[in-house]
Amino acid sequence: MTSVVRLGWLINPQDQQVEIYRQGQAKEAKALATELSGETVLPGFVLSLARFT
């Protein structure tokens, strides 16, 4: 059985960076944002990262 992840975040507070993984797309690395959106996978979901900065 194969599992598919549609959206994933790897949060690295030490380097102040987040890696965003989306199904069928290349990894995106960004400076640590204050909020991450659930996009179309989790509509309306927002993860606040203020405590990591």
Neighbour order of strands in the sheet with 7-12: 7-12, 17-22, 28-31
pLDDT digits (tens, 9 = 90+) for 23-51: 999 999 999 878 999 999 999 999 998 87
- Could you tell me if 34 and 49 are in contact, meaning their C-beta atoms sit under 8 angstroms apart? yes
| Domain chopping of the chain, boundaries | 7-52
**Whole-angstrom Cα distance, residue 28 to residue 37?**
14
**Whole-angstrom Cα distance, residue 50 to residue 13?**
10
Closest residue by Cα to residue 6 from 44, 41, 42, 47: 41
Whole-prediction pTM: 0.82
